[in-house]
Amino acid sequence: MTSETSENDVRPDLSAVQGLPQKRHYRQRAHANPHSDHDINYPVCPAKMDWTGLYGDYANGRKVEFVDVGCGYGGLLISLSPLYPESLMLGMEIRMKVSDFVIDKISALRRHSKENDKVDYFNVACLRSNAMKFLPNYFEKHQLSKMFFLFPDPHFKNRKHKWRIITPALLAEYAYCLRPGGLVYTITDVEDLHDWMVLHLNEHPLFERLTDEEEKNDKILPYVVNSTEEGQKAAREGRNKYPAIFRRLPDPDP
């Protein structure tokens, strides 16, 4: 795999935007216990979710299609936003301060866009939630077309492997939310975690890996590799990055 440099920065230039939040006020440790009963307001079911609270009027007539699970500081969302203006994208992040940073950042971007009579960044939003527990509360069956798992917590210890974001149990839920043909993107700078994610996605009957050719031609992959804070950091520190893309297969005949 390639070791990228920051010259491959694909992030949009936001230097003209006023009032962007400063990361130093939102720093938080990299881990959260997904088993705790966090103070999260999740809807009872997808029909009870008021998406206008996140996207304003832009949510009318549109449904969330892309989900970035554990979106961190939101680099991917903000980079992809101008590319897919008609698609609603949601970042889910369990850490309160980090999700709050992304929310504040998107607010600043939207404010800037509105001042210029545009609707840029109204298709992206961030939500503090626990994707390991509550995905079906937000999304209907087969609603999503893309799910991203970028630089997830590696949970190095053997005892904590069960907390990893890709497990056979959770893949069944991702397959429920994804439409057949939908894509799962994974990337990490930890080779062992990459092997784990590829192993379980390969073994799952509802996912298959894209061919090398297909992965190479994927339009979004460069953003997966280079748009996030973690991706930039890995490149700065000269660490390899291991991306992979999987397709959600149709359910087998019953």
Partner 1 sequence: MALLLPLDDKSGYVFCKQFGFFCKSLVQAATSDDDGIIDMKAITEAVPSDKEQQQNDNSREKIVFEALCCALSWRKEFVAVALSSKFIIVFRAADRTVIRAFRISRFPTVILFDKDDEHVIVSDRAGHVTRYLAMKSPEKVEQRREITGELTNYEGEPLSGTFSMILDLALSPDGRKLAMADRDEKIRVSRYPQCFVIENFCLGHTEFVSTMAVHENRLFSSGGDATIKEWDYQTGQLLRESAPLKLAAQKGVKPIRKIFLFSLNGKLHLAAFSYEMKTIFVVDEGNLATIAEIPLDDVPLHAAHFEGPIFQIIARSSIYRICCETRSVEKVETCAKLLELLKDAAEPMPITYKNVAYNNAEQYFERKRTKFEEIAKGDRTRKGKKKNSNGKQDAQGMDESAESVQT
The region of 24-32, 118-126, 185-193, 221-229 touching partner 1 under the rule CB under 8 A is: 24-32
- Give SS3 for 178: strand
Alpha-carbon distance of 46 to 134, in angstroms, equals 10
Q: Is 35 in the site for partner 1 (CB under 8 A)?
A: yes
The region of 6-14, 94-102, 113-121, 232-240 touching partner 1 under the rule CB under 8 A is: 94-102
The nearer residue to partner 1, 88 or 132, going by C-beta atoms, is 132
Alpha-carbon distance of 227 to 246, in angstroms, equals 20
Sign for the CA dihedral angle at 231, 58, 144, 171 comes to: positive
Q: Is 172 in the site for partner 1 (CB under 8 A)?
A: yes
Sign for the CA dihedral angle at 120, 131, 223, 98 comes to: positive
The annotation status of 108 as a binding-site residue, yes or no, is: no
Q: Binders of partner 1: how many residues, by CB under 8 A?
A: 49
Backbone phi and psi for residue 108, each to the nearest 5 degrees, phi listed first: -65, -40
The nearer residue to partner 1, 190 or 206, going by C-beta atoms, is 206
Residue 248 burial (CB < 10 Å; 0-12/13-18/19+)?
A: buried
The nearer residue to partner 1, 82 or 168, going by C-beta atoms, is 168
Q: Active site includes 153?
A: yes
The nearer residue to partner 1, 208 or 251, going by C-beta atoms, is 251
> How far is CA 50 from each of CA 42, 138, 183, rounded to the nearest angstrom?
10, 10, 26
Contacting residues for 126 by C-beta, under 8 A, at least 6 apart: 71, 74, 77, 90, 91, 92, 93, 99, 102, 103, 106
Q: Is 18 in the site for partner 1 (CB under 8 A)?
A: no
* Catalytic option among 9, 50, 153, 218: 153
Q: 108-131 burial string, b = 16+ CB within 10 Å, else e?
A: bbbebbeeeeeebbbbbbbbbbbb
Q: Is 169 in the site for partner 1 (CB under 8 A)?
A: yes
Q: Which residues bind partner 1 (CB under 8 A)?
A: 24-25, 27-29, 34-40, 44-46, 95-97, 100, 128, 130, 132-134, 136-137, 141, 158, 161-162, 164, 166-173, 175-176, 196, 200, 204-206, 251-252, 254
Binding-site residue positions for S-adenosyl-L-methionine: 70, 93-94, 130-131, 150, 228-230
Binding-site residue positions: 70, 93-94, 130-131, 150, 228-230
- Active site (catalytic) residues: 153
